[in-house]
Amino acid sequence: MPGRHPIVALFCGLSMLSVGCGSVPPPAPVAERVIDLGHSLSVTDPTWSGGPVFSHRTLAEMPKQGYFAAAFSTDEHFGTHLDAPSHFAPEGLSVDRIPADRLVRPAMCLNVVAQVQANEDYRVTLADVEAFERERGVIPDGTTVAIATGWDARWPHVGRYMNVRAGAKHFPGLSLEAARHLVQRRVAGIVIDTPSVDYGPSETFEVHRLTQPAGVYHIENARGLTALPATGFTLVVAPIKIQGGSGGPARVFAMLR
């Protein structure tokens, strides 16, 4: 390799050995389209408690100061957000300790819009997941699984989205049997376009209590999942990195190849 610095020559030589003499490393996959799967945070967004949990106030604005800046405060579990395993598992990882490579994962999307249209309290069944796997293949270890219910079409209308009747919330989620199957498949995370992976009437959060001790994180209040293909894309989950946090608002992107 005449004319090259010795260190550069050594690096190039090792690189060629690692991929085969004279061969060129394959190019990194490039996303053809990126879909934003999150809602913007707003003071008028639905909250779990029904009361305000988010504020955003201006600190300085143009042109007087020459710049614009603001401050905000929020609950960790507000808007499109991540539930870290520590949310329901005392020994689980907090949001800042989830390895970055668990947050950028190949993904699959299970669409249950038709079932939800017939039943607002629909819980994704084991049969739903098994039928998906028969058609699309077994869910690989480390995959992030999105559950598209279409419930995000009700956002941000508080009454329709939280759907409280007779003191109970009503929206779709996962059954315990389906969640157990995903845990057995060792998924990295579960993404859903409803307020919770547990369906609205749940009072015990049984899906949280099963999945989070197994290290599975959740994204709740996602949007746009119905636009995703069943397979062939990557999910990028980027939560606010709160030290010791049980979760936090997140940007979530689907990278379609």
Assess whether 71 and 145 both reside in one domain: yes
pLDDT bin (cut points 50, 70, 90) of residue 123 is very high
Question: What was the pLDDT predicted at 240?
Answer: 98
Read off the pLDDT band of 257 (50, 70, 90): confident
Q: What is the mean pLDDT of the chain?
A: 91
User: Do 236 and 115 belong together in one domain?
Assistant: yes
Element (H, E) at 238: strand 233-239
189 and 124 co-located in one domain: yes
Together in a domain, 21 and 41: no
252, pLDDT greater than 70: yes
pLDDT of residue 67: 92
CATH of the domain at 227: 3.50.30.50
**Using one digit for the tens of pLDDT, what is the confidence trace for 144-193?**
999 999 999 999 999 999 999 999 999 999 999 999 999 999 999 999 99
Q: Locate tokens 């997140």: which residue? A: 250
Indicate the residue type of 204: T
At 21 the pLDDT is 41
pLDDT of residue 202: 98
Total domains, the chain: 2
In a shared domain, residues 107 and 45 = yes
Co-location of 83 and 111 in the same domain: yes
What is the domain extent for residue 21? 1-27
Tell me what percent of the residues of the chain surpass a pLDDT of 70. Answer: 88
Q: Which two tokens stand for residue 93?
A: 């990882």
What digits encode the pLDDT tens for the residues 2-49?
444 433 343 344 343 333 444 455 555 566 899 999 999 999 999 999
At residue 203, what is the residue type? E
187 plus 66 within the same structural domain: yes
**Averaged pLDDT for residues 224-241:** 98
> Do 12 and 42 lie in a common domain?
no
- Give yes or no: residues 48 and 4 share one domain: no
Backbone angles phi, psi at 148, to 5 degrees: -95, 110
Q: What is the per-residue pLDDT for 13? A: 42
